[in-house]
Each structure stands twice: as structure tokens, then as C-alpha cells.
Amino acid sequence: MSYLALARKWRPRIFADVMGQGHVVKALTHALDGDRLHPAILLTGTRGVGKTTLARIVAKGLNCETGVSASPCGICSACGEVDAGRFVDLLEIDAASHTGVENVRELIDNSQYAPARGRYKVYLIDEVHMLSRSAFNALLKTLEDPPPQLKFILATTDPQKLPVTVLSRCLQFNLRRLPLSVIRDQLARVLEQEGIDFEPAAVAEIARAADGSMRDGLSLLDQAIAFSGGGPLERSPIEDMLGTAGRQVLYSLLQAVAARDGAALVQGIAGLDARAPDHAALLNELAAILQRVAVLQVLAEAQSDDDDEELLALVPALAAEDVQLYYQIAVHGRRDLPYAPDPRSGFEMTLLRMLAFRIDDGAPGGRQRDMPVAATRAGSPDTRRPGAAAPSAVPAVLPTAAPAVTPVVTPAVSSPLSPPSPVPEVDPRDLPWAERIDTLGLGSQARQLARQCAWVGEQDDRIHLRLDAAVRFLIEDDNGETRRRAIEQAFSDQLGRPLRVHVEVAAAELAPTPAQLDQQRAQQQQQAREAAIRNDPAVLAFKDQFGAAIRPGSIRPES
């Protein structure tokens, strides 16, 4: 007897055996038990999640000799023929190879005839999205008003390609990708029934590689059994078979990144070479590890038995913002792998990038972390240009505010033996208007009015100021006169004689006001900061490597 593949041998025969699709099973069970199944059903979902399996179970439920039911007997001739794939009234059509309108017309012509063996004739059209537009048009009328003895079950992995006219005529069920735990437990049960010893870690590797598909998991299990020569399934050989050899090494590599240990990182990458890993698969796995770490950092209750101890150790070892940065680097590294000189160097550069870039939020008192630099020999000179600052860390999520650099002026300290250097007193009237305001000792509201005024001149006992018309409310509101009198009193006190202050409102200024001058200086400084950020080598590297962009308005001076 020829060998039967595990995916066929362990295919569910009844609804109770279908795993991970309870929402679909419940609806179909109620419909069959009441013999109220919709004439056209659309099953959608990725490969290997049970679309064809559910269709065959429905066909058995409709044609079981014990009656229409969601629990077919499984032993009558109709059930046996459906399971064997030779039931004459179940027509399975592959739309990928029967795309033309002539194929659909032949199907429609045959649909008028009564079933040969069962109660219902069931048409299962797989990958229905592959039909041509003319074929869909020919099928529409029959889908909307089929013969009473006919049921359509359409299956597709890409429902977006179906015309809305077809979707509106079908009852749609979306099958989910199966959780890793469901696939792992089923593979373990299969191995136990087959009498094959296994390591749980090896089964978990296969379930992870199945990527949500039970059929893929069973096919990989077949391959693993052949690879192991009938012996027990062990983790290390399974990793070699799947191309994920070194997955455990990824944990140690991330620990080296977290510890800023460049030597351990490079040595760990070199150690992978002996196992000839699939570097693309490793980068995918690296991103998956970081995604899981991010989830556990936010929600500790999400921890499950599928989480390795090494993964759990990374949760407190990595900062949350670092995890976000490393995830982006891993994803972009996987995307750019075809452009690398070779997969190994692309993989290595991705991890070195994680080592090179660190978070620095620039906030006062915030976390500051140094860039990793190669150790220099004792006594070796610093090769940076004089006065150059040490390399600053690069923000993980561009852009961050560029902290303003305030020069520190150290006052000269005179020797006790040196003669005093007297500073001549300056007449306030000789100071520029913006500086003279600072000598008046004004309160906040009066100072605000003065700074929005331009100096016109002084004549006799009268001082003339001109207010920017855009802020005329400073003199015209209820407190305007109080502000003017405060300025007037300050001038009188300063010069030692009574003075009057006249404030004129004008649309055009003779000269810019102190407030306008400050605004101009602030704009110039902001432009300089933005230019410095845009031209920073690290920022340019982020733009080039990751397609990053500086968010407009996010570059602000340090408060």
C-alpha cells in the first residue's frame, strides 16, 4: 500500500475535528441542522487553514444517507465516497486551470440535471478569484437563482479580486490563521499516534514555520520524519532542515546588543557561519522575537508556554524604545537583503546597525547613553578636531527636538594682587531701546507693552513711542492706560523728573520693535537648527537607510 501523506491522513472528517475555526463551524452547523444552508457559500483565508476540508464536510452533511445534518455518519457509501474524493455529486473545480467562460457555461449546463447519487449536487470552485471577468458574468445568474438541488461552495485566498456582484450573492466566511499553539498541539498528537518520539522544542519549530497553516505544518512534519530517518525528532536537526539554524543564537546576539558588547556580537555572527543558516529567515525570526518582546513589555499577562526562557530574559534587558528601533532596523534589513553584497554581510550590518544607533530623547535629565566606540590604546591621542563634541546619539524615531546649545561663559577671576578694573557707568539714554527697557524695572504687563513699541524720540518732557497695530489691544483694552502709566512712572524715576509717555498706534513702524527683533532672531536660530538637523550625518543615514523623514514642526529649542 502506498504511503499516505500526513496532511491527507489527518484531514478532519467531521466538524468536531476542525480546529481554530469555531465561528465558521458554528454557523455551518446551525444551517445544516435546520436544512437552511445558503445556496452559495464563499470561504476565504490563507492556504492550508481548512477551506476545502470544510467544503467536503458540508457535502457529506448534505448527502449523508441518514439525512441532512451537521453530524454525518461517516460510514455510509455517500460519506465514504466524499472522503475518498470520488463522490459523483461533489464536483471540485480548480479555477486556476479552468478560467474561461466556456468552462463555466459547461458547469451551468450540467447544473440543470438532478443529482446522480445524493440529495444535492455540490460545486466546489477552488481559487475562484482566478476566473475571468466573462466567466464571472456567466456565473452570476446561476449564483443568484440556482436550481433547488444545487449548492455552490467557492473558496479563495484573495477575496479582494472577486467582483462585488459575486460577493453580494454569497454568504461569506473568513477562516483565520491558526495559532502556533493549536498547530503545535495537533502535530504532537499526530506524532504520538504515529509512534514517533520527539522533543517538544522540535515540534514548536515546525509549528512556527507552518505560519498559521495546519496543512503546511503536517507537510513539514512529513519532511521532518524523513529527515530524521524515522528516529526521534530533535530540535537542532529540525532547525537545520528549516533553515532556521541558529535561532537560539539570536537571543545571545540581542543580549550582546543590549550589553553594548560589540566583540560578543561579531563573534556570535561568525559562529553562525558553520551552520550555513538562511539569513533571510533569521532576520524574519529576529523581527518576530522583537515584536514578541514589545508585546510582553506592554502586557506581561500575554506570556504563554510558547515563549522561550531566553526571550523572556530579553524583556527587562531591552528598553521599550530600543525594541521599537531594533524592530524597524530588522524589518528594513530584511527588505534590503537582496541589495547587500551577500546575505551574510547584510545580516551582519543589520545587527551592527542596532549596536550603532541608540535612543537619546534630548530632554533635560533624560536617559543619555553613549555610542559604542572601539577601544583605543592607552595614551593614544584623540583624533577629533579641537573643540569638537563627542558623537551624539541618534534618535530612534525621527525627528526629535534639537537641543539648543547654550555657550557657557566663565567669568574671569582676578587675582587679589591685580588692580581693580572699574567699569564706567552708562547713561540709560545712550542704550538701544531694547536694552533700555531692561533698565526700567517694568512689571510683566507694562514690559509687554514697551517691547511691542518702537522708539520714536524724546522732546522736552514728552517721550514718543509707536505701537505695532497688530497688538493695539495692549493700549486700548481696560488695562492699557495702567500699562502706559507704569512706563511713564518708570521713565520719571529713572531720569529724576516728571515725564509724559505718548503711545501712538501705527500700521507701519519706523523701526522694528524689540519683540519683532527677538522674533527675527528666533526664526534665524530655528532655521539654523533645522539646517543642522537636516545635514547631520546620522540623520542623513536614517533617511538613506530607512526612508525616514523629519516631521515638520518637531524641531524645537530646548526649554
Assess contact for 122 and 153: CB atoms under 8 A.
Answer: yes
Quick check: 419 pLDDT over 80? no
- Check residue 203 and give its pLDDT: 92
Over range 157-184, report the average pLDDT. 91
Domain ranges of the chain: 6-174, 180-242, 247-356, 430-511
| 40-44 and 150-156 beta bridge pairing | parallel
Q: What is the C-alpha separation between 242 and 183, in angstroms, rounded?
A: 16
Intra-chain end-to-end CA distance of the chain, in Å: 80
Q: What architecture (CATH level 2) is domain 247-356?
A: Up-down Bundle (1.20)
Quick check: 331 pLDDT over 60? yes
What percent of the residues of the chain are helix, what percent strand, and what percent coil, each to the nearest 5?
50, 10, 40
- Check residue 418 and give its pLDDT: 42
Is pLDDT larger for residue 176 or for residue 553? 176
pLDDT-derived band at 367 (thresholds 50, 70, 90) equals very low
> Out of 8-22, 115-129, 352-366, 490-504, which region has the weakest mean confidence (pLDDT)?
352-366
Quick check: 224 pLDDT over 80? yes
Q: What is the C-alpha separation between 78 and 66, in angstroms, rounded?
A: 10
- Check residue 278 and give its pLDDT: 82
> Out of 32-36, 161-165, 246-250, 256-260, which region has the weakest mean confidence (pLDDT)?
246-250
Quick check: 334 pLDDT over 90? yes
Over range 504-514, report the average pLDDT. 75
Q: What is the C-alpha separation between 187 and 6, in angstroms, rounded?
A: 10
Backbone angles phi, psi at 485, to 5 degrees: -65, -35
Cα 334 to Cα 48, 276, 339, 350, 389: the distances in Å are 25, 17, 10, 8, 34
pLDDT-derived band at 364 (thresholds 50, 70, 90) equals very low
- Check residue 460 and give its pLDDT: 84
Quick check: 492 pLDDT over 70? yes
* 91-116 pLDDT, tens digit each: 988 888 877 788 888 888 888 888 88
Over range 375-404, report the average pLDDT. 38
Quick check: 500 pLDDT over 80? yes
Q: What is the C-alpha separation between 516 and 94, in angstroms, rounded?
A: 75
Sign of CA dihedral 129, 130, 131, 133: positive
pLDDT-derived band at 550 (thresholds 50, 70, 90) equals confident
> Out of 16-25, 316-325, 421-430, which region has the weakest mean confidence (pLDDT)?
421-430
The angle formed by the CA atoms of residues 59, 64 and 69, to the nearest 5 degrees, is 80
> Out of 172-181, 466-475, 538-547, which region has the weakest mean confidence (pLDDT)?
538-547
- Check residue 401 and give its pLDDT: 36
> Out of 24-33, 190-199, 231-240, 423-432, which region has the weakest mean confidence (pLDDT)?
423-432
At residue 366, what is the residue type?
G
- Check residue 402 and give its pLDDT: 36
pLDDT-derived band at 295 (thresholds 50, 70, 90) equals very high
**% of the chain residues with pLDDT over 70:** 86
The angle formed by the CA atoms of residues 25, 29 and 32, to the nearest 5 degrees, is 140
Is pLDDT larger for residue 512 or for residue 83? 83
Which string of b and e fits 217-230 if b means at least 16 CB within 10 Å? Answer: bbbbbbebbeebee
Q: What architecture (CATH level 2) is domain 430-511?
A: 2-Layer Sandwich (3.30)
- Check residue 539 and give its pLDDT: 83
Q: Distance from CA of residue 157 to its chain's centroid?
A: 24
CATH ID of 180-242, from 3.30.710.10, 3.40.630.30, 1.10.8.60, 3.40.50.1820: 1.10.8.60
Q: What is the C-alpha separation between 539 and 533, in angstroms, rounded?
A: 7
- Check residue 15 and give its pLDDT: 93
Is pLDDT larger for residue 424 or for residue 236? 236
Assess contact for 59 and 90: CB atoms under 8 A.
Answer: yes
Quick check: 374 pLDDT over 90? no
pLDDT-derived band at 302 (thresholds 50, 70, 90) equals confident
Quick check: 88 pLDDT over 60? yes
Q: What is the C-alpha separation between 26 and 546, in angstroms, rounded?
A: 46
Quick check: 385 pLDDT over 70? no
pLDDT-derived band at 555 (thresholds 50, 70, 90) equals confident
- The 10 Å Cβ neighbour count of residue 502 is 13
* 36-84 pLDDT, tens digit each: 999 999 999 999 999 999 999 999 999 999 999 999 998 999 999 999 8
Over range 329-345, report the average pLDDT. 92
Is pLDDT larger for residue 404 or for residue 159? 159
CATH ID of 6-174, from 1.20.140.70, 3.40.50.300, 3.40.50.880, 3.40.50.700: 3.40.50.300
Q: Which residues contact 56 (CB under 8 A, 6 or more apart)?
A: 82, 83, 90, 124
pLDDT-derived band at 223 (thresholds 50, 70, 90) equals very high
Q: What is the C-alpha separation between 511 and 509, in angstroms, rounded?
A: 5
Q: What is the C-alpha separation between 427 and 356, in angstroms, rounded?
A: 57
Bridge partners, residue 500, by sequence: 462
| 150-156 and 121-126 beta bridge pairing | parallel
- The 10 Å Cβ neighbour count of residue 443 is 13
pTM above the 0.85 mark?
Answer: no
Going by C-alpha positions, the residue among 387, 385, 353 that lies closest to residue 372 is 353
Quick check: 394 pLDDT over 50? no
Q: What is the C-alpha separation between 559 and 556, in angstroms, rounded?
A: 9
- Check residue 424 and give its pLDDT: 55
Q: What is the C-alpha separation between 394 and 370, in angstroms, rounded?
A: 10
Q: What is the C-alpha separation between 314 and 258, in angstroms, rounded?
A: 9
Which string of b and e fits 187-202 if b means at least 16 CB within 10 Å? Answer: bbebbeeeebebeeeb
* DSSP secondary structure of 138-160: HHHHHHHS--TTEEEEEEES-GG
Going by C-alpha positions, the residue among 280, 277, 371 that lies closest to residue 330 is 280
